[in-house]
Structure 1
């Protein structure tokens, strides 16, 4: 079972390649901001997509909200696995170097053309591990770019199909990431990104399209079950690492390619409403 590290080691890194302030985001990309209520809890605030894209979800909570979002995000353009290569070169482009992409776990900027199977090349990481539900690289969950990210080939292998949790030893090729025999902890700067990608998948793939019903749970070692944990940790990461400008920009780029959005980037407060 994953060993937990003291909370003081979970601070957001100060030397992340993508600083939120460095990226300009189209105004339509930002559907909401979280604001404190008088009691200190997050409240929903209106955004420019709420009277269009999200109109059928507003005012709902819990299972009703999840069902409404499922219907909304299921309207999408589906890619082939080969098409994912070019899509990621757009969605994960380094804003400081248009010829490169930024790798999820290492934060390294790497040439778009340096992709493949070599140890130090980049490849396509399924953040919701494709063995969890046995969907492989089939068009659908296997090619949904909301959870596909460029990663260092060796680091991708280290993560493998492990669930997400806190603890373990530091990954040598990716400082700030930790792993043990049954879990993987990403670097602080992308913890929330990982959580929101996982929860998007749980909303989008609900068992009604020929694929397994994907659901988070609060355990690790899920194997081939259509589940990934730990939901309590993912919720914590969603709160501690809210969407930044680069994550919002990526959501907008995917909307342009795949024609659907990750609602938890636009409305991170919906995570606690559903789970």
Structure 2
């Protein structure tokens, strides 16, 4: 696979001022440096540290992963049909409440244009459901921390490929690249993808009826319960820190639907602390 040099110039976006009130819209992004962004907790995470994350503080490695697994496993589970309405809320366009933002294309599309037809949007499993064979079963198959709206044909192009840099650009979704065994999302959501994948790895540890999901360094995982490449996902987490859209989404999932959080959005530095 050929690897293209990537240049990132995404501004570090303002942290959420509070976790007690949801505004329903994403804040405008200020112009600021991204240096060390993934090592700086948000104001929201500081408030959560006293409550939600208190049992994880001060830990690293397997101890931190185990603590976070216990914390985030306390959740409300949705049915696959309930996911449609949830995504219309979690991924709402902050400038137009009648639309959602599609993950890979970045297109704003009417909430009502969901389904299976060409150019409609459907439910993309960022951790491909065949990687662990969980399908659309209630649990990992319906966990909206990794389910996102996406164009039907772009979703199909991504398929169950692992994540990596390189490939040919998608004509239908400029900024996204793919080859025979991997998919590279646009720069603006690289970190989002990484944090969703790593959330799934911590949430689903094989202590229920589902597989133990783990990241690795491969891009040919097929139906095994693994997704790669971990080194690239870690790089994406550093270079594309959480923005206000991603932070608001985490709040909405927590407050209105599953009542659990993606800890790597609140504390992106925990990625390096575990892996």
TM norm structure 1: 0.90
Q: Is 1:114–2:126 an aligned residue pair?
A: no
- How far apart are 1:28 and its partner, in Å? 1.3
> What is the CA distance between 1:11 and its match in structure 2?
2.6
Q: Where do 1:30-179 residues align within 5 Å?
A: 42=39, 47-179=46-178
Which runs of 5 or more residues in structure 1 are unaligned? none
Tell me which residue corresponds to 1:27: 18
Give the paired residue count: 260
Per-residue CA distance 1:122-178 (angstroms, 9 max, x = gap): 000000000000000000000000000000000000000000000000011100000
Residues 36 and 60 of structure 1: CA distance in aligned 2, closer, same or farther (over 3 Å):
farther
Residues 202-233 of structure 1: per-residue CA shift (max 9 Å, x gap): 00000001100000001101000000000000
Distance 1:162 1:41 in 2: 26
8 Å CA contact 2:214–2:227 kept in 1: the answer is yes
What is the CA-CA distance between 1:41 and the residue it aligns to? 9.6
How much does 1:3 deviate? 1.9
Question: 1:42: Cα distance to partner?
Answer: 3.6
Distance in 1 between the 2:107 and 2:13 partners? 16
Q: Quote the offset at 1:238 in angstroms.
A: 0.1
Q: Distance in 1 between matches of 2:226 and 2:97?
A: 36
Partner of 2:250: 251
Q: Per the alignment, do residues 244 and 181 of structure 1 end up closer, same or farther by CA in structure 2, a change over 3 Å counting? A: same
1:11 matched to which residue of 2? 8
1:261 correspondence with 2:252:
no
Q: Distance in 2 between matches of 1:86 and 1:148?
A: 12
- Whether the aligned pair in 1 keeps the contact of 2:38 and 2:241 (CA below 8 Å) is no
Shift of 1:27: 1.1
Question: Equivalents in 1 of 2:20, 2:180: separation in Å?
Answer: 38
- In structure 2, C-alpha distance between the alignment counterparts of 1:255 and 1:108, rounded to whole Å: 25
Residue pair 1:12, 1:189 contacting (<8 A) in 2 also: no
Q: For the aligned residues, what is the CA RMSD?
A: 2.3
Residues 54 and 6 from structure 1, CA distance in 2 versus in 1: closer, same or farther, beyond 3 angstroms? Answer: same
CA distance, structure 2, for counterparts of residue 98 and residue 230 of structure 1: 35
CA contact (8 A) 2:13 2:242 kept: no
**Misfit runs of 4+, over 2 Å:** 10-14, 40-46
Who is 2:25 aligned against? Answer: none
Task: Please report how far the alpha carbon of residue 20 of structure 1 lies from its aligned counterpart in structure 2 after TM superposition.
Answer: 4.8
Classify the secondary structure of the residue corresponding to 1:71. helix
Shift, 1:29, TM fit: 7.4
Equivalent position of 1:204 in the other structure: 203
Q: Quote the Cα distance in structure 2 between the aligned partners of 1:177 and 1:44.
A: 28
- Deviations along 1:49-81, one digit per CA (max 9) or x if unpaired, are 001000000011000000000000000000000
In structure 2, what is the Cα distance between the partners aligned to 1:210 and 1:123? 26
